[in-house]
């Protein structure tokens, strides 16, 4: 297992290129299952979750090739089974359920278990697919789904679930008749998936709002599509610039999609502007803490909560973070405390007393964004930080140590 060694205290200066979005590329890859022709995707990040998805697509009967930032997928004779060994390493595997049911009328997909950031059930996905005519049984830890051709339905989600909205967008694209999804997720990655499906011949409108209408079509064709850039990776490097009192330019960077994050960082005193070459991030002297609540898009993203907590630890004053999307998503706080942070946890709320002088320490990463938060703290800390179990980081951040060292960080990877 690898670990990252960081000698903190360097102001980061220079340009970081943001990669394609993991959370947009994953559903788009699963949607490629449904296309009758070749799908060519651009701006796909070289991440472990992408490789896992390509492995799963191979087992499901697709040919794929990954070169540079390009992925080519050609669906062949599909096999409707997603085995536990792959699903347990990546919960997003459940996104093959909608496409398989729509295309084959059956699917056997391992039920993803709990994960470090909470129980994360898929009940909303299943209930909505049932409304379209699917039947589900649980057999030896597998969800067994069957249906005739799925039928359009009027679905009101109890919660704007991102994965649930994506599964339904895919399923409804090949269904018989019109589906209306109410209280659906408005995340930019959902919009990207809808745009990709439309490029394949689907008839989706309303993406980006909470009511999405999908008119089913009888088949989808292949297409060439550029996946959006990663707004969470971009937000993470914005915090890296701010926490080291640096001066960074982020190229290939989404901006409008980061509005809530940019607004909070500006409130903390970070100067963020769109320039010709990219998004420039430069703190205006000492920063101050703020209060924030994580919410579905367009609210502040839960996937940026851990990183902004690291920044608040070194800012002036005190602030409160309330996590409303996932239970148990404060594990990074306990590790930050080991580096000198002053954080009090109470249920889903964290109180941060800023002004901490962080010192390097050996810390343990527990999930993807928690790992990023510890790297950020390490960049700001005095002395050496060792971030262990970084396989989480490799799931979601492409070449993180190379990108950071190119702008002046002293960071390297070692075998544990
Ligand atoms: C996606 C993102 C993840 C992000 C999250 C919220 C991907 C691959 N992952 O995850 O990075 O943190 O959106 O922005 O895109 N829930 C249920 N029942 C369900 C579905 C969800 O109770 O059937 C609950 C979950 O347990 C969680 C909340 O709803 O507490 C949000 O989940 P959801 O929006 O579905 O997130 P994911 O698609 O899993």
Q: Which atom of ligand 1 is nearest to the CA of 159?
A: 29
User: Could you tell me the distance, in angstroms and rounded to a whole number, from the CA of residue 121 to the centre of ligand 1?
Assistant: 9
The finding on whether 326 has its CB within 6 A of some atom of ligand 1 is yes
Residue 30 and residue 7 share a domain: no
CA–CA separation, 60 and 45 (whole Å): 22
DSSP 11-43: PPEEEEE--B-HHHHHHHHHHHTTBSS-EEEES
Q: Check: CB of residue 21 under 8 Å from CB of residue 189.
A: yes
Residue 363 beta carbon below 6 angstroms from any ligand 1 atom: no
Distance in Å, CA 120 to ligand 1 centroid: 7
- Among 115, 118, 128, 161, residue to substitute to test ligand 1 (most atoms within 8 Å of Cβ): 161
* Rounded Cα distance, 268 and 227, in Å: 31
- Residue listed under structure tokens 């709002």: 209
Q: What are the residue ranges in the chain where pLDDT is below 50?
A: none
Taking the C-alpha atoms of residue 204 and residue 212, their distance in angstroms, rounded to an integer, is: 7
Long-range CB pairs of 118-122 (<8 Å, 24+ gap) are 118/326, 118/327, 118/328, 118/329, 119/327, 120/91, 120/326, 122/94, 122/163, 122/164
Give the pLDDT score at 328. 84
Q: What is the DSSP letter of 151?
A: B
Q: How many angstroms is it from 238 CA to the middle of ligand 1?
A: 24
Residue that is written with structure tokens 């049911």 in the block:
101
Report angle CA 72, 75, 77 to the nearest 5 degrees. 150
Q: Is 123 in the pocket of ligand 1 (CB under 6 A)?
A: yes
Same domain, 59 and 13: no
23 Cβ below 6 A of ligand 1: yes
Q: Do 204 and 222 belong together in one domain? A: yes
Closest Cα to atom 28 of ligand 1? 325
The whole domain housing 172 covers 22-226
Last residue of a domain, one of 160, 195, 226: 226
Q: How far is the CA of 122 from the centre of ligand 1 (A)?
A: 9
DSSP codes, 289-323 = ---EEB-STTSB-GGGHHHHHHHHHHSBSEEEEE-
Output phi, psi for 263, to 5 deg: -60, -45
Question: Domain holding 338: CATH number?
Answer: 3.65.10.10
Q: Tell which one of 27, 49, 92, 163 to mutate to probe ligand 1, the residue whose CB is within 8 A of the most ligand atoms.
A: 163
Cβ of residue 124 lying under 6 Å from some atom of ligand 1: yes
User: Look-up: residue for tokens 């690898």?
Assistant: 2
The pLDDT assigned to 54 comes to: 97
Whose Cα sits closest to atom 9 in ligand 1?
A: 23
Region of 208 (left: φ > 0; alpha: ψ -120 to 50; beta: rest) is left
DSSP for 209-276 reads: BS-EEEE--S-B---EEEPPB-HHHHHHHHHHHHHTT-EEEEES---GGGHHHHHHHHHHTEEEEEET
Ligand 1 centroid–CA 203 distance in Å is: 25
Q: Is the same domain home to 188 and 255? A: no
Q: Are residues 242 and 345 in the same domain?
A: yes
Say whether both 243 and 258 belong to one domain. Answer: yes
**Cβ neighbours, 10 Å, residue 201:** 17
Ligand 1 contact via 127 beta carbon (within 6 Å): no
**Which residues, in sequence order, are bridge partners of residue 212?**
181
Query: Token pair for residue 255?
Result: 């901006």
**Do residues 170 and 92 make contact, with C-beta atoms less than 8 angstroms apart?**
no
In a shared domain, residues 346 and 238? yes
How far, in Å, CA of 397 to CA of 403, rounded? 10
> What ligand 1 atom has the least distance to the C-alpha of 368?
11
* Shared-domain flag, residues 161 and 262: no
| φ, ψ dihedrals at 84, nearest 5° | -55, -40
Final residue of a structural domain among 188, 205, 226: 226
Structure tokens at 176: 């018989």
Q: Is the CB of residue 185 less than 8 Å from the CB of residue 162?
A: yes
Number of compact structural domains in the chain: 2
Catalytic residue among 96, 115, 289, 313: 115
Counting from 1 in the atom list of ligand 1, the atom nearest the Cα of 118 is: 26
Pick from 317, 331, 337: which is nearest to 372 by CA?
A: 331
Are the C-beta atoms of 90 and 130 separated by less than 8 Å? no
In this structure, are 368 and 234 located in the same domain? yes
Same-domain pairing of 278 and 389: yes
Tell whether 179 and 277 lie within a shared domain.
no
Last residue of a domain, one of 161, 192, 226: 226
CB proximity list for 205: less than 8 A, separation 6 or greater: 212, 213
Same domain (yes/no): 205, 284:
no
The ligand 1 atom nearest the CA atom of 26: 8
**How many Cβ atoms are within 10 Å of 6's Cβ, its own excluded?**
26
Active site includes 200?
A: no
């Amino acid at each position: 297992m690898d670990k990252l060694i960081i000698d903190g205290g360097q102001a980061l200066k220079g340009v970081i290129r943001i990669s394609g979005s993991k959370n947009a590329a994953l559903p788009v890859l699963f949607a490629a299952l449904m296309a009758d022709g070749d799908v060519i995707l651009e701006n796909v990040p070289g991440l472990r979750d992408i490789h896992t998805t390509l492995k799963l697509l191979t087992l499901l009967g697709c040919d794929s090739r990954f070169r540079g930032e390009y992925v080519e997928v050609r669906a062949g004779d599909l096999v409707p089974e997603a085995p536990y060994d792959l699903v347990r390493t990546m919960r997003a595997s459940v996104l093959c359920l909608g496409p398989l049911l729509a295309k084959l009328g059956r699917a056997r997909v391992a039920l993803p278990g709990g994960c470090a950031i909470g129980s994360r059930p898929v009940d909303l996905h299943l209930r909505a697919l049932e409304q379209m005519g699917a039947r589900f049984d649980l057999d030896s830890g597998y969800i067994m789904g069957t249906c005739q051709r799925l039928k359009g339905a009027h679905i009101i989600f109890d919660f704007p679930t991102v994965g649930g909205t994506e599964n339904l967008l895919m399923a409804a694209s090949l269904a018989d008749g019109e589906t209306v999804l109410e209280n659906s997720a408005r995340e930019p990655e959902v919009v990207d998936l809808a745009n990709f499906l439309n490029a394949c011949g689907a008839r989706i409108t309303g993406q980006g709002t909470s009511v999405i209408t999908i008119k089913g079509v009888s088949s989808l064709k292949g297409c060439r599509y550029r996946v959006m850039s990663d707004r969470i990776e971009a937000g993470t490097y914005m915090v890296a610039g701010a926490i080291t009192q640096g001066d960074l330019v982020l190229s290939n960077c989404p901006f409008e999609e980061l509005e809530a994050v940019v607004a909070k960082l500006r409130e903390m005193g970070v100067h963020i502007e769109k320039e010709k070459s990219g998004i420039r991030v430069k703190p205006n002297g000492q920063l101050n803490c703020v209060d924030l609540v994580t919410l579905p898009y367009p609210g502040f993203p839960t996937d940026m909560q851990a990183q902004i907590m690291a920044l608040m630890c070194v800012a002036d004053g005190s602030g409160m973070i309330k996590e409303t999307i996932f239970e148990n998503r404060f594990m990074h706080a306990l590790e930050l405390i080991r580096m000198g942070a002053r954080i009090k946890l109470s249920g889903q709320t964290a109180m941060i007393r800023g002004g901490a002088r962080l010192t390097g320490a050996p810390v343990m990463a527990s999930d993807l964004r928690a790992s990023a938060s510890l790297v950020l703290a390490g960049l700001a800390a005095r002395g050496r930080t060792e971030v262990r179990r970084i396989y989480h980081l490799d799931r979601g951040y492409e070449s993180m140590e190379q990108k950071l060292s190119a702008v002046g960080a002293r960071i390297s990877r070692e075998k544990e």
